[in-house]
Structure 1
Amino acid sequence: MARLTAISGLGRKSAAIFLIEMSGRRVLFDLGDGLEPGDRPDLTGIGRVDAVVLSHAHEDHAGALDRLDEVGDPPVLATARTLGFLPERLRAGRARVLPERGRVDLMGLDLTLGRAGHAPGGVWLHVATPAGGLLYTGDICPEAPRLPVDPLPEAATLVLDASYGDREGRLADQIAAMARAAAAGAVLCCPAAGRGADMVAALAGAGLCVATDAVIGREVAAATGTLPEIVDAATARPDRAIVCVSSNAERGLAAELLGREGFRFVFSSHVPDGTPARRMLDAGQALWLPWNVHPTLPDLLALVRTTGARRVLPAFLDIATAPRLAEGLGARLWTHPETEI
């Protein structure tokens, strides 16, 4: 018998932590941290696990790796690019490299991986199980311009990135709106190891002269082989479009430019309470514009059809806020934190 337990990540936008128990093995898919201040997941009921497999390196999927000792100090398995975004202290002696595409033996479990589009090195994960297979999408984005998505396999149980719920609207239209907003200059905040290279390429394609901070500059160079113009707090100009970390201006160049005369800020990620982004948006001092990095409602329903899933767990979402998604899933909708797989 195999079992899936949603430790965190089901019922609201929160840390991604899913426990798979099968053939005497206990494996965590992701070990994330909460997005809201002080929202650290409860790990006390997990016990010892044999491995942690990461879908990608973002905080809500890998941010609790500093607590590995609470789950038995297991090895961490991820793609080379994902591991490259993690601090060395979390990788040392623990890291095991997984391919971005292919099939591997995970301690006796039959694991298949494919690229998920959301982040460099990000993957979906499929485990062969007695009841027809489990597919965990992690965060997935069918629209990412430079980050491909490999076809999803069939699976009876699907843990689906439903972060956007009923949202519609296409990335192409969002890019046009972002380019208009940044035409006279703006600080465009985004996460590291995410959409940065796509954002730079898309805005440059719309005719803007785009600069970056050092972090996004390295990501652009890795993705394209070309280093963009790099600016810092001394050389940044308010009449330029500047793509930089972090998502909510908590640190990095974005934080250094806060309060500087003439700099306009545009945010496009989830905005937690207590962040500079939340304070600026509440005061009408910044702009929030969407930039799809998760599936929209039509994408979600298409992914469900592709996999043929009989049970769909809509992850990272309060399903009560997405009535059209709930209706589209119908009898396939599954909201219990534990299920046989």
Structure 2
Amino acid sequence: MMQVDLHGGFGEKGRTSVALRSTGSHILLDVGIKVGASGREYYPAIERDIETIDALLLSHAHEDHVGALSWLLAKGYRGPIFMTEETRDEAPATLAHYADAAQLEQFPFPSGQVELFSPGDTLTIGDFTIRTGRSGHVVGGVWFAVENGQANVVYSADILPDSRVFVMDPLPPCDLLILDASYGADPVSGGARADAIATWVAEHPKGCLLPTPLFGRSLELLAVMPKRFAIHASMRQALAVQIAAAGALYPKAVERLKQQLAAAIDWNDGDPLPDCPLLADDGMGTAGPSATLIPLADASNYPVLLTGHLPASSPGDLLHRAGRADWIRMPTHPTLSGNMEIWRKCGEPQVLGHSCTPPMLDELKSHIPSLRADARTGQSLTLLEGKIV
């Protein structure tokens, strides 16, 4: 038997968090925040039993998977925190942008609790054996396959099976697949969207702004930039570190990205907006240089292209809804064909979709019939003899 507690990200986008319980073990997978929410809904719906959690495992350092770490520590968690080296290095910057300032001051990034592993390692925590693999989503990002001798659950976290940049390891067969459903049943491939972004950029030769997360999508966009483009100067070191993690990237992509970064023009705050594409983090305008650049670009009639998730009322969302910014998705999660292939290769198991709204889950269910589209944050499910009961 295995209990699955849905603490965040089910029937919603953000605050992704899942707990798995066995007879004598209790682990937590990710602890994110929900951008655009406030109060209690900003954090995972973990109301009790924090003291019984044996370990926290983090898939990667994006805010919707790690942003509530200081909150969890403030609630009393003192156990080990398993993550890759890259996640350890990136998480403090994410917390600086998205954690409550008072909580972060009292409970900063807990280096003493961190236990490192590498993608591909197998961990043993209590009753659980946990396999890991590269996610294809970001350098150092992983999925988790958890089994206790009675049930086998795969938590994909954020994955991308058809990236031109990042390598994703195949997910193993399982009884329950907790799948990255961020895009629902979107049928357009990542390659087609990347080509569309390159075309849009070419159509704006006098300059344009592309807000992007510092980690992950930034490399996908870097790969499709023309010969002459700019980056916010503060991004350069982080981009270089990601490109140096060659084991997470395709060899051809590494060479392309090295050449692109070497050619990129550094843009600094206070400089005139450049007459070429400009990449700046983050992707929503809620933090980082883009929080200043998006309103500056708007006031200057400087074209803006948004390429990812836009939480309601975020600066990027408001600009797009006002018709003053374009949007073309640069996929960093699976589209329909990718998720269907993953489901088949996992043995067509029962499925829960995370990071997805209810209407999009209903649409995805028409393609993946074993998807439980009614699963919601706050629910607990039980796997018994490989079936949800």
**Rounded Cα–Cα distance in structure 2 between residues aligned with 1:170 and 1:27:** 34
Separation in structure 2 between the aligned mates of residue 236 and residue 27 of structure 1, nearest angstrom: 50
CA distance in 2, matches of 1:237, 1:172: 29
Q: 1:319 to 1:273 in 2, by over 3 A?
A: closer
Q: Is the 8 A contact 2:163 2:332 kept in 1?
A: yes
Alignment CA distance shift 1:334-1:254 (3 Å): closer
260-269 or 2-11: bigger deviation:
260-269
Q: Which runs of 4+ in 1 moved over 4 A?
A: 224-227
Residues 178-217 of structure 1 mapped to structure 2, 5 A cutoff:
178-183=197-202, 184=205, 185-203=207-225, 207-217=226-236
Amino acid at match of 1:221: A
Shift of 1:159: 0.3
In structure 2, the CA distance between the partners of 1:182 and 1:331, relative to structure 1 (3 Å rule), is: closer
- Structure 2 equivalent of residue 288 of structure 1: 327
Structure with more of its chain in helix, by fraction: 2
**Cα offset, 1:304, TM superposition:** 0.6
Which amino acid is the alignment partner of residue 6 of structure 1?
Answer: L
Distance 1:328 1:262, change over 3 A: closer
- The question of whether the paired residues in 2 share the 8 Å contact of 1:43 and 1:71 is answered with no
CA 1:334/1:308 → structure 2, altered by over 3 Å: closer, same or farther?
farther
Q: After TM superposition, give the deviation of residue 156 of structure 1 in Å.
A: 0.7
1:311 alignment partner in structure 2: 350
1:87 counterpart = 2:92: yes
**Percent identity, aligned pairs only?**
25
Residue equivalent to 2:173: 154
Which range moves more in the overlay, 151-160 or 214-223?
214-223
Contact between 1:118 and 1:194, CA under 8 Å: does it hold in 2? yes
Establish whether residue 22 from structure 1 lines up as the match of residue 22 from structure 2.
yes
Q: 1:177 is matched by which residue type in structure 2? A: A
* 2:100 corresponds to: none
1:246 matched residue in structure 2 = 282
Map Cα deviations across residues 79-108 of structure 1 (whole Å, 9 max, x no partner): 111111011831321211021112122345
The equivalent residue for 1:129 is: 148
Structure 1 residue 23: Cα displacement: 4.1
Q: Output the CA distance in 2 between the equivalents of 1:214 and 1:60.
A: 25
The corresponding residue for 1:68 is 72
Instruction: Render the CA deviation track for 1:223-281: whole Å, top value 9, x for unaligned.
Output: 05554432112335342111110111223322232225242211112111222112211
How many residues align structurally? 338
Aligned-residue offset at 1:32: 0.5
Deviations for 1:136-166, whole angstroms, at most 9, x for unmatched residues? 0001111222210001111111100001001
Contact 2:310–2:316 (8 Å) recurs in 1: yes
SS in 1 for 2:323: coil
Q: CA 1:299/1:71 → structure 2, altered by over 3 Å: closer, same or farther?
A: farther
Aligned equivalents of 1:128, 1:238: Cα separation in 2? 52
The unaligned stretches of length 5 or more in structure 2 are: 94-107, 244-253, 384-389
Query: 1:278 and 2:317 equivalent?
Result: yes
Matched AA of 1:50? D
Tell me the distance in 2 between the aligned counterparts of 1:331 and 1:85: 36
Q: TM-score, normalised by structure 1?
A: 0.92
Residues 181 and 353 in structure 2, CA contact (< 8 A), matched pair in contact too: yes
Between 157-166 and 178-187, the greater mean CA deviation after superposition:
178-187
Residue in structure 1 matching 2:237, options 213, 218, 231: 218
Q: Give the secondary structure class of the aligned counterpart of 2:345.
A: helix
SS at match of 2:289: helix
Q: Give the Å deviation of 1:287.
A: 1.1
Q: Which runs of 5+ in 1 are unaligned?
A: none
CA distance in 1 between partners of 2:335 and 2:288 (Å): 30
Q: Using the TM superposition, give the Cα deviation of residue 334 of structure 1 relative to its aligned residue in structure 2, in angstroms.
A: 6.2
CA RMSD of aligned residues (A): 2.0
- Structure 1 position 307, deviation (Å): 0.7
For residues 128 and 325 of structure 1, what CA distance do their matches in structure 2 show? 26
Larger deviation, residues 103-112 vs 187-196: 103-112
TM-score, normalised via structure 2 length:
0.81
AA in 2 matched with 1:199: L
**For each residue in 1:94-140, what CA deviation from the matched residue of structure 2 results, as whole angstroms up to 9, or x when unmatched?**
21102111212234521100001111111000011334411000011
2:189 maps to 1:170: yes
CA contact (8 A) 1:116 1:149 kept: yes
TM-aligned CA deviation for residue 283 of structure 1 = 1.7
**Contact in 2 for aligned 1:37/1:274 (Cα 8 Å):** no
Instruction: Give, in angstroms, the shift of residue 317 of structure 1.
Output: 1.5
Deviation at 1:55, TM superposition (A): 0.8
